A = this chain, B = another copy of it.
């Protein structure tokens, strides 16, 4: 298990927004820009755009532009991006466990007082 490999994995989904973008895409297959924006409360256009570009550079998502007026752009997980799903699932499971543990852990600390 090497340090820098984990780094490269983390870079892909770390950050305030990356995973929040990935989630809807995992569930809905393909989404348009504004659709995505609506599904992520609090995100600004600027952030959504820049994060999408980064995900695209890492070949995790695919960007499909329809040459029409009004413009239409669809985003979806790339083939390579789909390899992320098991990780997201495992992180989700661990996250749930961790959240539960933290709860009882903090309660235990309280009682000591």
A interface list, Cβ under 8 A from B: 1-10, 12-14, 19-20, 23, 26, 58-59, 80, 83-84, 86-99, 101-102, 105
When A2-B92, A14-B14, A91-B10 are in contact, do A83 and B59 touch as well, CB less than 8 Å?
no
B83 pairs with A8, CB closer than 8 A: no
Copy number in the complex reads 2
Instruction: State the Cβ distance, A40 to closest chain B Cβ, in Å.
Output: 10
Knowing A59-B101, A101-B80, A105-B59 are in contact, say whether A92-B23 is a contact too (CB < 8 A). Answer: no
Q: A13-B10, A14-B10, A91-B87 are in contact. Are A5 and B101 (CB under 8 A)?
A: no
Closest to A40 in B: B3
User: Are B8 and A19 in touch, CB under 8 angstroms?
Assistant: no
Question: Contact at B6–A88, with CB atoms within 8 Å?
Answer: yes
Is B97's CB under 8 angstroms from A83's CB?
yes
